[in-house]
Structure 1
Amino acid sequence: MKHRLLRPLFALAFCTQALAQEVPALFKDVLKPNEPTKAELVVVVPPPEIEKYISKVEESTKKDPAWFAEHAKTSKPGVPLPFHEKLGLTQSEYDEYIALWNKREFKVAHEIGMMLRLTSDGRWNLLGAGPAASISSLRFSEKEDNWKSSNGVLKRLPDIDADPMSILGGWKGKEWKFEEETTLSKLKENVAVGSTNDGKYHLIVYRAQENTSAGTRLLDKSLVIRIAKSSAATKAKSK
């Protein structure tokens, strides 16, 4: 019996003619055109004991938010803040926090299907099934080196070379971003494609955020999609 999340992708694959255009280098060995590939929607989970230290830091943040904003600039994005007494932790508590952070793990939230399809405008549509369906509006052009979504054009950012201490661990990839600000709200949309430094997985990371001009959160969608390199770009089989 076919995995139910892959059925819509199989149907689309069988209805789509194979097009003799080479897959972009970005997706080489990751996805094949019109062939559903098994993937995992994952979340990063640190040990629950870390919460008591996070709570202490959050309380300290409220006392001097301006200082914390400046202190955060001394650290790479996604990496724990450097130690300082104003964090609200003793040195030993901070060391324990870092030890717990180093024990964070990837947990599989959902098994999903992913597929790449060439569209009539010459762009490559990244299709996701189930909980990853929100990524399916993304279409990539290798020639223009950008993505299009329902929001607009995502433009290229500098390459990613994430610190091993970052939330996803060490990984390298390419990233694109759309950003728009009006009198009513500010919208940001990012997509990145790369692989983990240990050579085990391909990663597709998607984030969309929208806040009102007053700072109220309207949208906050994050997807971390993991494809094992040993099984990447292979057609999903029936269970």
Structure 2
Amino acid sequence: MKFFTLWNVLTLAFSSLIFANDAPAIFQKVLKPDQPTEAEIVVVLPPAEIEKYITKVEQSAQKDPQWFAEYSQKAKPGVPLPYHEKIGLTPQEYEEYLAHWAKREIKAAESVKLMLRKGSDGRWSIAATGPAGVISSLRFSEKEDQWKSPNGTLSRLPDIEADPQSILGAWNGKEWRFEEETSLSKIKENFAIGLTVDKKYHFLVYRAQEMTPSGTRLLDQNLVIRIPAATEPASR
């Protein structure tokens, strides 16, 4: 009987420990608490041949910047602009541009390590090495489904269902945003976690922008971290 009682106590204690360290759903299969995980900062590289088409579009935009700004705002974000004769390309050139865009590659720029941690306040953070360290200041509350940053609170946006033509290709995920506008500047801060449609990679995507009322860019940070879906946490 003593053995049975002791075993039950140990089982309950162990179960409590497991549940105490259980990560929120958004981190499941991405990061494990208190275990370092290998990851990569990646960049998107279109083929060099695409530059001549981009130059033509930029030159056309300078001829009628107001129209171009309005047209861009109406377009789907993150994918090539729909064809219009005023973007500076012929129909054939536009098709060539899309063909080059389809050949873009996502290349690893730097290896980093990530570690999921739970703070004493119950919020979760991702400690990161190197340039990825910019996300280390974010704190996630599972109950509120919000991230807190030094700027403010990032609230949930609609789920991401990225188009195959988007810069990172087809992937699905969850996204949060902080946005604030004052007489001095406008700040946007976004963070997203997702998985490619082919289920090969997880993405952590961070972006922070700050602009003056006149449109001068004060800050533009872009970070894409890629984690192979099959990767196990690295040894300490």
Normalised by the size of structure 2, how large is the TM-score?
Answer: 0.89
User: Aligned partners of 1:100 and 1:237: how far apart in 2?
Assistant: 41
User: Aligned partners of 1:133 and 1:236: how far apart in 2?
Assistant: 18
Tell me the residue number matched to 1:236: 234
Aligned residues: 220
SS in 2 for 1:221: strand
Answer with 118-127 or 211-220: which moved more.
Answer: 211-220
| Mapped contact 1:34–1:117 kept (Cα < 8 A) | yes
Tell me the residue number matched to 2:26: 26
Deviation at 1:54, TM superposition (A): 0.1
Amino acid at match of 1:119: G
SS in 1 for 2:227: strand
The structure with the largest alpha-carbon Rg is: 2
SS in 2 for 1:56: helix
Tell me the residue number matched to 1:8: none
Deviation at 1:73, TM superposition (A): 4.1
The answer to whether residue 130 in structure 2 is matched with residue 116 in structure 1 is no
* Structure 1 residues 36-93: Cα deviation after superposition (integer angstroms, max 9, x where no partner): 1000100111001100100000000011122222322443101111112111111111
| Mapped contact 2:126–2:135 kept (Cα < 8 A) | yes
Tell me the residue number matched to 1:90: 90
Q: Which has the higher contact order (CA 8 A, sep 6+)?
A: 1
| Mapped contact 1:19–1:118 kept (Cα < 8 A) | no
SS in 1 for 2:20: coil
| Mapped contact 2:22–2:33 kept (Cα < 8 A) | no
Amino acid at match of 1:160: I
Deviation at 1:131, TM superposition (A): 1.0
Amino acid at match of 1:158: P
Deviation at 1:212, TM superposition (A): 1.7
User: Aligned partners of 2:83 and 2:145: how far apart in 1?
Assistant: 40
Q: Percent identity?
A: 64
Tell me the residue number matched to 1:52: 52
Amino acid at match of 2:43: V
Answer with 96-105 or 206-215: which moved more.
Answer: 206-215
Deviation at 1:19, TM superposition (A): 8.4
User: Aligned partners of 1:235 and 1:195: how far apart in 2?
Assistant: 17
Name the Cα RMSD after superposition. Answer: 1.6
User: Aligned partners of 1:20 and 1:78: how far apart in 2?
Assistant: 39
User: Aligned partners of 1:103 and 1:226: how far apart in 2?
Assistant: 19
User: Aligned partners of 1:158 and 1:211: how far apart in 2?
Assistant: 24
SS in 2 for 1:49: helix
SS in 2 for 1:60: helix
| Mapped contact 1:113–1:129 kept (Cα < 8 A) | yes
Deviation at 1:206, TM superposition (A): 0.2
User: Aligned partners of 2:102 and 2:183: how far apart in 1?
Assistant: 42
User: Aligned partners of 1:217 and 1:75: how far apart in 2?
Assistant: 22
* Structure 1 residues 174-203: Cα deviation after superposition (integer angstroms, max 9, x where no partner): 000001111111111000001011110011
Alignment map for 1:68-217 (pairs within 5 Å):
68-217=68-217
Deviation at 1:18, TM superposition (A): 9.1
User: Aligned partners of 2:129 and 2:214: how far apart in 1?
Assistant: 34
Structure 2: 5+ residue runs without aligned partners?
A: 1-16
